[in-house]
Amino acid sequence: MLTDAKREFIEFMMESDVLRFGDFVTKSGRNTQYFVNTGNYRTGKQIAALGRYYAALVKETIGDEFDCMFGPAYKGIPLAVSCAGALYSEYGIDKPYFFNRKEEKDHGEGGSLVGYKPKDGDRVIIIEDVITAGTAIRETMPILMGAADVKVKDMFISVNRCEVGTTPGKTAIMEVGEEYGINVHALVTVSDIYEYLKASGEYTEMIPKMEEYMAKYCIL
**Active site residues per annotation:** 105, 107
CB-CB contact of 78 with 41 (8 Å): yes
Residue 23's contacts (CB-CB under 8 Å, 6 or more residues apart) are 31, 33
Nearest to 38 by CA among 58, 60, 57, 20: 20
- b/e per residue 37-52 (b: at least 16 CB within 10 A): bbeebeeeebbebbbb
Could you say which DSSP state residue 163 is in? Answer: B
